[in-house]
Amino acid sequence: MPTSFITVQQHILEEQRRFPGSSGEFSSLLSGITMATKMIQDKVRRAGLSDILGEYGETNVQGERQQKLDVFANHALIHFLGLRERVGVLASEENEQPVIVHQGSEDANYAIVFDPLDGSSNIDVNVSVGTTFSILRRPDGVTLHEPDQWVLQPGSKQIAAGYVVYGSSTILVYSVGNGVHGFTLDPSLGAYMLSHPSMKMPKQGPYYSVNEAYRESFPEPYRDYLDRLRSGALGQPYASRYIGSMVADFHRTLLKGGVFLYPPTHENPDGKLRLLYEANPIAFLAEQAGGIAIDGKRRVLDIEPESIHQRTPIIVGSQVELTDFGRLIG
């Protein structure tokens, strides 16, 4: 059957045999993501036509001025994921503390961590934005009275992760640990249709992606690395591509290969991107697609988180570029 006739629901049903202890759980969890992101994309597509643009007038836990779409996206995800009785804890970029969903329910044994609208500062200028998510199983012996412990787990414990990029089309990319698969939203059907089965990151790519405005504040090995990419030392010339929206920059890297990096800077010495709901999901997908994701020293997925909103440097991309970086850093 052509891939275009396989919906994400059908695909999930086939995949969930591989979802640990699944009994329809994964399809229920992911349907919460698909429902919420269809509503988000509807608002994103019409942002200029309604009063959804602009600032909400409040500041979030990150100290960032909340865009109205941020708030809408956060509410949509909390609502639809909160309807799933197997979900016990939700943690969002927009909320300082985790949200306990099913107080006292013995059936609740999943936590979902998400950034409802990554790159939201780009909304007003019509640049791609995205939603990222990470699904974790409740650690043995942890109760709903310890919600932080549900989410403070290394990325290697993710049982599923993915993102939705709201770009020229709306694409959901996810993995349950059995490869990476992409689904394009068909607006006429209102369904995510399989469009990118078994995605594999090219072993080397034509692009490097970094905010070069901060070059002088990168640690020296990062500056040396960028010089190597530009000098042809990796056997080919590179072009620079930087959207300033992590999901879009990673999506291009996944499809075309190359490297996306957000190094330590003077302003963000621990990097800018958040470990739990930005770096971990894309690191999980990168590795599942044959790529590599490190924080400059170790696998992103091996980092033991200490706080929900902690940041990390990230260098993620193809085998050739990441192996070269590893040799440089030593």
Binding site for ligand P6P (CB under 6 A): 118-119, 121, 211, 244-246, 249, 272
Closer CB to ligand P6P, 150 or 218, in the complex: 218
Segment holding 281, helix H or strand E: helix 280-288
CA distances from 82 to 89, 90, 199 (A): 9, 8, 30
Query: Which one, 150 or 325, has the nearer CB to ligand P6P?
Result: 325
DSSP-assigned letters across all residues of 35-92:
HHHHHHHHHHHTGGGSTTSSEEEEE-TTSPEEEHHHHHHHHHHHHHHHT-TTEEEEEE
Query: Closer to ligand P6P at the Cβ: 15 or 278?
Result: 278
CB of 44 to ligand P6P, least distance (A): 15
User: What tokens does 124 get?
Assistant: 């007003």
Which of residues 154 and 244 has its CB atom nearest to ligand P6P in the complex? 244
Residue found by looking up tokens 């695909």 in the block: 11
Residue whose CB is less far from ligand P6P, 28 or 245 = 245
b/e sequence 54-76, b meaning 16+ C-beta within 10 Å: eeeeeebeeeeebbbbbbbbbeb
CB of 118: closest distance to ligand P6P in angstroms? 5
Smallest gap from residue 58 Cβ to ligand P6P (A): 17
Give least dist CB 122 to ligand P6P, A: 7
Relative orientation angle of helices 25-45 and 8-15, to the nearest 10 degrees = 150
Closest to ligand P6P by CB, 91 or 246: 246
Query: Residue 76 in contact with residue 43, Cβ under 8 Å?
Result: no
Q: Is 16 helix (H, G, I), strand (E, B) or coil?
A: helix
Cα separation, 11 vs 224, whole angstroms: 43
Shortest Å, Cβ 276 to ligand P6P = 13
To the nearest whole angstrom, how small is the minimum distance from the Cβ of residue 134 to ligand P6P? 16
> Which H helix or E strand runs over 196?
strand 191-196
